[in-house]
Structure formats: C-alpha cells, structure tokens
Amino acid sequence: MTLDLDPDRRLALAYVPAAARPAIEALWRLDVTLANILATGSDRTISRIRLAWWREALERLDEAPAPAEPVLQALAALVLPTVSGAELAEMEEGWAALLSDEVLTHAELEEHAAARGGRLFAYSARLLGHRDFPVEAGGRLWALADVARHSSHEEEARAARALAPVQLSARWPRALRPLGMLAALAGRDVERGPGTWERQGSPARMLRMIRHRLTGI
C-alpha cells in the first residue's frame, strides 16, 4: 500500500520543478511511510522492529537492487545516488526518538526534529540542486510543529512549540521555496497553537504558501 502525502505537502509538491518532482515525492513518501509505523502501531516493541527493518532495507539499497516494495523501488530509481541509502536510513533515528513510554523529553524532541525534519529538508534541497542554503532549521521547525499538531499530550505539544526555531530570517532561494512553504506554514502553526489549528490545505494556508512563493519569506 502506498500512503498519500498530506494536503500541505501535495500543494508544495506542485511547485517543485517537474524534473525533480518524482524524486522529491519518493523521498517525502518515505517520511510518510515511517510516520505510519508509529501512527498504526499500538506496541512500541513492534514499531521498533518495523523501523529497524526499514533502516536495514534502506542501507541495503547501496549494495543491492530494491526488493518488491514500491517506496524502496521509487527511492532506488529516483533518489539514489544523489542521496545514499545509508543517508536515508538515518531518518529512522528521528522516528525511533518518539518511541518513549513517557512524555517526550526536550532531547528526544530535538533528536526527532534534526533526524526527521532537518535531514528531510537537507536531502530535498540536494535533490533540488542546492547544498549551501541552511534548510535544516526550516526542517526542524516543520517537524516540531507536526509533533505539536498530533501529540495527545498537552505538555509534549507545548514543549515542541517552545523548541521550534520560528525565526527564519533568510530569504529562501526560488528553487527551494517549496520547502520554505512548509516551513512558513509550520511557523504559522507554532504561532497560532492548539485550538486554532488550520485544516491542512485550507485556503488560508494556500495563500501563505503563495506569499512565500512570491517573496521567499
């Protein structure tokens, strides 16, 4: 089963140049697949085993053909060798950081933000032909805002919002603005907070994305 992207990412993907769009979509679908392991797993031990399987499968992409799994096949065909399987496997650390029996600590939230969001944005930027713009802060912001949106623990959501680096002052290069759009929406979420979350893909969010597309901020 191939999982779909959320409405915000579907909109951002539409602004990715056509030549790079399949690779970016393949990368983002990996993130959705790893997220689904936690979303559908009621047993943390089983979730850890499933994440470990994905980590090993991603690492093997550097040495062997992809197995008959659509996400892995798309990554092998479209993302490698620009981003290696070993690098993709490092994203698993971000999801493993969330498998705590307690409310997530600041250190666990930071690890998730860096290993999931920071790496996802950095790898996306590389696929878009940019290695020198600091996209990782935007990725961390995006990942922490996502935790705040979906956490069932008020304390955890509050901590994620507090850690989010909302001051992203640099103007994003035009080629990277699909990523900047997601960071801009995440900043909007962090500022608004619980009780005022907007529906992903809503007209107000589309307008914010268009504004970023035009201005880079």
pLDDT number for residue 3: 76
Determine, yes or no, domain membership for 2.
no
Query: Which among 32, 62, 38, 66 is positioned nearest to 50, based on CA atoms?
Result: 38
- One-letter identity of residue 22: P
pLDDT in tens, 8-41: 999 999 999 999 999 999 999 999 999 999 988 7
For the segment 168-186, the average pLDDT, to the nearest whole number, is: 91
How far apart CA 61 and CA 43 sit, in angstroms, is 28
Give the list of residues 6+ apart from residue 169 with CB closer than 8 angstroms, or none: none
**Average pLDDT over the chain, rounded to an integer:** 93
CB 36 within 8 A of CB 47: no
Determine, yes or no, domain membership for 152.
yes
pLDDT number for residue 192: 84
Determine, yes or no, domain membership for 70.
yes
Name the domain count of the chain.
Answer: 1
Asked if pLDDT for residue 107 goes beyond 90, the answer is yes
Determine, yes or no, domain membership for 110.
yes
pLDDT number for residue 166: 67
Domain containing 119: what range?
A: 7-215
For the segment 208-217, the average pLDDT, to the nearest whole number, is: 94
